[in-house]
Amino acid sequence: MRIIFCVLAFVVNFSVFAEETPVSQPALEARLFDQRSTQDFPLRKTSPIRLTNLRGSVTVHSWALDRIRVVMNKKVRAVDQAAAQAVFGRIGARAQMIDQTLDVSLEFGRGLPLEEKLKERRSPISFADIEVFAPTSLALQIWTQEG
């Protein structure tokens, strides 16, 4: 009688444990989302420009206006539109003067804590191809890894 009670208790405890263990859900598959945005940067003087985009291509157009326009074609891998929108908001162009050169570079992970930025850098989910419109007379340096 004692042996049957122990076996029965074991079976009941095992079945309760098995019911509480969550069943793993299949992972949602990420899709590619696109967004196009534009930023203009005024020119204070005719200094050289350095363009940097390490996650996409750079196309340059010349024009007669005295400003630089950066058109970003952003791409994000995400499970849904809401997740993609959050990532789109963290991609932008930044312009700053460095050694008499206007440096225009794309920034990914804007506003994220350092650990999250490093994680995103190791396994990027966001990319952007850029089109740059700049005055004809300016000297350009372009840095890219994608082409």
Q: Residue 87, SS3?
A: helix
The pTM (predicted TM-score) of the whole model is: 0.71
Q: pLDDT tens digits, residue range 7-50?
A: 444 444 444 444 444 444 455 688 999 999 999 988 767 678 88
CA distance 87 to 57: 19
